[in-house]
Structure 1
Amino acid sequence: MNYVQLIEETRAGLVENVHFGMICGVNDQYQTVCHAGDQDHYTFYRSASKPIQAIPVFLSTIISKYGLTRQEAALFTASHRGETYHIDALESMLSKLPVSEEDLFCPPSYPLNVAPREEMLRKNMEKRRLYHNCSAKHMGFVSVCRELGYPVEGYWEVDHPLQQQILTILSELSEVPVSDITIGKDGCGVPVFAIPLKNMAITYLKLACPDLIQDPLLQKAVKEMTSVMNEYPQMVASERFICSVLLQDSNIIAKGGAQGVYCFGLKDEKLGFALKVLNGSEDVWPAIVASILEQINYHNKETITRLKELKPSIIKNDAGNQVGTIKETFLLTQW
């Protein structure tokens, strides 16, 4: 495994922390145009697979049939953070879809964001499956099963017809044969897939540029899905979170996953990127993505500025005094 140093953190001039990983960028010919480290490293998508897992919903008529709003539909792709507007939309979806909370295989949880989680704890509220960051994805799974006549029981197993459909979609988007896809189990209990980092970048290239997708029905579904992600970015994550910041830029489709995985695609440039931070850190994503965009001379400087506001280059202590720095140390090898 070949990896490079991506980020260096210093305090009082001494290196205090480093983050290693790999990055790959591809063009619309599926050729690597820039990279840092091993582009063939097998990597689990984790929640970066959520837009792919949501595609069966957008291939169906579920959204129109049950009167979901576009804002609610964006949640099918989300790792929602449990803010009030997320919970309100999820409750609304439960009231419309042929789904009960007990159908969901994801475990009861509290929200990811600190404020709503602490508010619920203060009020002695119990954990709910609805609060799990994957709950809307699971609502989509159950809804598709009922729509297509699949059994709901076992929808989380890899040999279930829904999971096999998702596996086939992933193979088509990633250009990786099903036989070469490694399958594990994600945090919420459903299958999670690993493929080479380069092919993850190809997947997000196609999500950003669906005209590259040969199947017209799949192309149409991806266009509809990504349009709601850009239209309602805060539903995909929340305020001041990298996914929502990037999706505010209508030229970008992006989604991150656990253990340091991040993917995004650029529409106008017809480029796809995937990166893996080997220590699993999500905290340094904004700095890494901002540096990638700077190195390729990305035209929307406002997006780069917003990313840098999420992860400033100056480290401050609890009193607000500067005590160190964060610096991107990688240079993309451009082919």
Structure 2
Amino acid sequence: MINHSSSDFASNPFTVTVSRGPIIESRHQVIAVISDAKGKLVRSWGDVRNAVYLRSAIKPLQAIPLVETGAADALDVTEQELSLACASHNGEVAHVDAVSEWLKRIGLGINDLECGTHWPKYEAAALELAGAGLAPSAAHNNCSGKHSGFLSTAVYMKENTQGYIHLDHPVQQRIVKVLEDFTDLDLSRAPIGTDGCSIPTIAIPLDKAALAMARFADPSKLEAGRASACHRIQTAVAKFPHMIAGTDRLCTALDGAAHGKVIAKVGAEAVYLAALPELGLGIALKALDGADRAAEVALGALLEDLGVVTEDIHKSADPYFHPILRNRNDIVVGRLEAVFD
């Protein structure tokens, strides 16, 4: 359990420590917040009202227009593909094949993806591809599922499929509207950067990100079509967790083992967002130094304190929540843990 100070709203970040032998070798500072769907902050650490880029952690919200416009039903988007639309995937064969088939079904191809190309994130998949003398395509990009969802919406709405990555395209404008609705913010003057896959990434205060995830977790106060979209996305991720990340990834391990109790998504630079449907809560956190290992440990600590970590989750996610450091001879040399003032 987290040892809280007298106030539930601590002003300082908490720390994820890295120990080697008898001493702490490194420290990562983490800002985090837990919110309900009305915007009440349950707990908070650090300056969570400062805006951060949420990066790929926001993908479950970016997938909402795919469903609520009617595109998913009209284009026969499967639950597997809906999970893939929320993914930062490994570029494994299952991911690449699914993207290729999805695009083919809607009359497009891999060349229509504007996410760019990189080698698979999963080493075994990259080695297999290189061993076959092949080069990666845009379908191997970890965001290709999300972009397939964008293209599907554009096709259904009879919009130009070229340039869908730009802020002024209707695809991106629908996403901005979703984010504004879920955060209660006017984002017209928010700082905007360019994400790794070339779409806009909008800076949002961490407390508002947690609010957005709480509303995604508990959409009962939302319009019926939007609430249905949230439920469908949650169900798809829980049923097909491999599609949202892949082998040896926390998102897949956690979302699969949670059976719908937790929908968690990582973003670049050590951001994590999570929705807890049964509790109606949202979690948003960021390791300030961008270390993913710290963000994973921090997420585990918050989930454990909220009492949602079941035995199944422990079995699947503890290697990420409570990592043991081993050297090249497989000797245990250290560990990571969250430390709260």
TM-score with structure 2 length normalisation? 0.91
User: Which residue among 197, 201, 205 is the counterpart of 1:196?
Assistant: 205
CA displacement 1:181-231 (0-9 Å, x = unmatched) = 332110111111111100110111111112132x22222222212211111
Q: Measure the CA separation in 2 of the matches of 1:166 and 1:128.
A: 26
Aligned residue runs from structure 1 range 166-315, under 5 A? 166-179=175-188, 181-213=190-222, 215-248=223-256, 249=258, 250-298=260-308, 300-315=310-325
Q: Cα–Cα, structure 1 residues 64 and 161, in superposed 2: closer, same or farther, change >3 Å?
A: closer
Residues 1:93 and 2:70 aligned together: no
Q: CA deviation at 1:299?
A: 5.9
Percent identity at matched positions?
Answer: 28
- Asked whether the equivalents of residues 294 and 304 of structure 1 are also in contact (C-alpha less than 8 Å), the reply is no
- Asked whether the equivalents of residues 68 and 96 of structure 1 are also in contact (C-alpha less than 8 Å), the reply is no
- What SS class does the counterpart of residue 284 from structure 1 fall into? helix
- Asked whether the equivalents of residues 81 and 145 of structure 2 are also in contact (C-alpha less than 8 Å), the reply is no
1:6 partner amino acid: T
Q: Measure the CA separation in 1 of the matches of 2:25 and 2:40.
A: 36
Question: Structure 2: which 5+ runs fail to align?
Answer: 1-10
Aligned residue runs from structure 1 range 1-335, under 5 A? 3-179=12-188, 181-213=190-222, 215-248=223-256, 249=258, 250-298=260-308, 300-331=310-341
Q: Cα–Cα, structure 1 residues 72 and 179, in superposed 2: closer, same or farther, change >3 Å?
A: closer
- Asked whether the equivalents of residues 47 and 257 of structure 1 are also in contact (C-alpha less than 8 Å), the reply is yes
- Equivalent pairs counted in the alignment come to 329
1:282 partner amino acid: D
Q: Measure the CA separation in 1 of the matches of 2:53 and 2:12.
A: 16
CA displacement 1:166-188 (0-9 Å, x = unmatched) = 10111001121233533211011
284-293 vs 114-123, which deviates more? 284-293
1:265 partner amino acid: A
1:266 partner amino acid: L
Q: Measure the CA separation in 2 of the matches of 1:266 and 1:232.
A: 17
- What SS class does the counterpart of residue 308 from structure 1 fall into? helix
Q: Measure the CA separation in 2 of the matches of 1:225 and 1:291.
A: 25
- Asked whether the equivalents of residues 36 and 215 of structure 2 are also in contact (C-alpha less than 8 Å), the reply is no
- What SS class does the counterpart of residue 254 from structure 1 fall into? strand
- Asked whether the equivalents of residues 17 and 24 of structure 2 are also in contact (C-alpha less than 8 Å), the reply is yes
- Asked whether the equivalents of residues 245 and 251 of structure 2 are also in contact (C-alpha less than 8 Å), the reply is yes
Question: Structure 1: which 5+ runs fail to align?
Answer: none
Q: Cα–Cα, structure 1 residues 212 and 240, in superposed 2: closer, same or farther, change >3 Å?
A: farther
Q: Measure the CA separation in 2 of the matches of 1:106 and 1:53.
A: 15
- Asked whether the equivalents of residues 240 and 310 of structure 1 are also in contact (C-alpha less than 8 Å), the reply is no
Q: Cα–Cα, structure 1 residues 216 and 181, in superposed 2: closer, same or farther, change >3 Å?
A: farther
Q: Cα–Cα, structure 1 residues 67 and 159, in superposed 2: closer, same or farther, change >3 Å?
A: closer
- Asked whether the equivalents of residues 59 and 221 of structure 1 are also in contact (C-alpha less than 8 Å), the reply is yes
Q: Cα–Cα, structure 1 residues 3 and 304, in superposed 2: closer, same or farther, change >3 Å?
A: farther
- Asked whether the equivalents of residues 90 and 142 of structure 2 are also in contact (C-alpha less than 8 Å), the reply is yes
TM-score with structure 1 length normalisation? 0.92
Q: CA deviation at 1:301?
A: 4.3
200-209 vs 10-19, which deviates more? 10-19
1:78 partner amino acid: A
Q: CA deviation at 1:24?
A: 0.3
1:182 partner amino acid: P
